[in-house]
Amino acid sequence: MRSVTWIEDLARRADAVLPDYVSAYYHSNAGDGSCDREGIADWNAFRMRPSVLRDASAQSTATEVLGTPVAAPVLVAPMAQQVGARPEGEVLTARGAAKAGTLLGVSTNTGARFADIAAEGAPWWYQVYVARNRDATRILVERAAAAEAKALILTVDTTPLGREVPAIDPRNWPAGPRKNRTANLTEAELDRFGSDTDMALDLTPDTIGWLADVSGLPVLCKGVLTARDARRCVDAGAEGIIVSTHGGRRLGTSVTSAFALPEILAEVGSEVEVHVDSGIRGGAQAAAAIALGAKAVHVGRPVMWGLAADGADGVATVLGNYQAELVTTLRQLGIGSIRDLGPADVVARGAAR
């Protein structure tokens, strides 16, 4: 019998406590799900190169992301509909991230108020889906900056989720406590903007500079999968790139993030921080990404499952497990600090044969 990983076990426990429509939304993918599945498999295809007879008595995973210290380069990816997991949503996620000493992304589609999230003490970045009415976005971004968001994550893979089952679309969820509200616009603003808070599909590189001007914050572009696009983002002022397939939820046939990372690092890695997410299912896989040159990884679904199953403690446990696995990997590689992890420590499985 195949052994079950702690993440698979956690997903099962989360699924057991969630209504079907919520757990289906969290699991959902674009197309036939192959981008998600192969995304996970591609991270597992990297192999580390252990090194022995080195002082392995102490390991540090501490680093900085855009100048913010974190206990480990494992951040929480922005995810919508967290009130579907727990009524307090991101407030608990922030509490878990604070316990783990790391930073979280907060989705535009959060049902929690910025001030309540910020009060938990974890540093946070605000994820922006630019609205059709730019005033709605400007108001949200100004409020996020006032609540001490330290950066903006501009999600640029702006197509509606590649999901075809209407029942799991959050807009069709039954009314009740799990139904997300955009908690950071007033009722009057929501009435005024109406459907113009829907995602704009006409973004250009100029959007990056506009957001930086409005907020005074650095902007990272999330959902970049080619060197060409990374270059366009950086030339337009992006201070970071997040390589991401949106957890396989955007284009079912797209390249995976593990495939895309090396070409993006080669293009812009010496100029800006390059982060990565999608399918990173443990500290060992995070170590491979960081050895390749990523500054940090972001974790999506496992954190959501931790939140659903065990609240803030569940979030902290998930992040703590990634960190512990990073420590184990560093120890086996004979490396004292994650800052010293590099390309010589990892190979693609094909090259290892």
The token duo for 178 is 């799990």
**Least distance CB 217 / ligand FNR (angstroms):** 16
- Exactly one of 277, 310, 325, 345 binds ligand FNR (CB under 6 A); that residue is 277
Q: Which of residues 98-157 bind ligand FNR (CB under 6 A)?
A: 107, 109, 127, 155
For the annotated binding site for FMN, the residues are 78-80, 107, 127, 155, 222, 244, 277-281, 300-301
**Least distance CB 224 / ligand FNR (angstroms):** 12
How far, in Å, CA of 73 to CA of 24, rounded? Answer: 29
Exposure on the CB side of residue 57, measured as CA atoms within 13 A: 1
How far, in Å, CA of 292 to CA of 257, rounded? Answer: 12
Applying CB under 6 A, does 246 fall inside the site for ligand FNR? yes
Applying CB under 6 A, does 301 fall inside the site for ligand FNR? yes
How far, in Å, CA of 29 to CA of 224, rounded? Answer: 18
User: Could you tell me where the beta strands, DSSP code E, fall in 159-271?
Assistant: 219-224, 240-243
Active site residue 275: no
Phi, psi of 220 (to 5 degrees): -105, 140
Applying CB under 6 A, does 279 fall inside the site for ligand FNR? yes
**Least distance CB 299 / ligand FNR (angstroms):** 5
Applying CB under 6 A, does 26 fall inside the site for ligand FNR? yes
Residues 197 and 136 sit within 8 Å (Cβ to Cβ) = yes
- Exactly one of 184, 244, 317, 323 binds ligand FNR (CB under 6 A); that residue is 244
Identify how many contiguous H helices and E strands the chain contains and give both numbers: 13, 12
Applying CB under 6 A, does 78 fall inside the site for ligand FNR? yes
297 SS3 class: strand
Q: Which of residues 207-236 bind ligand FNR (CB under 6 A)?
A: 222
Residue 284 identity: A
How far, in Å, CA of 15 to CA of 6, rounded? Answer: 14
Count of residues in contact with ligand FNR, rule CB under 6 A:
23
Other C-beta atoms lying within 10 Å of the C-beta of residue 56: 15
Applying CB under 6 A, does 86 fall inside the site for ligand FNR? no
Q: Which of residues 30-69 bind ligand FNR (CB under 6 A)?
A: none
Binding-site ranges for ligand FNR (CB under 6 A): 25-26, 77-81, 107, 109, 127, 155, 222, 244, 246-247, 277-280, 299-301, 304
Return the active site residues: 246
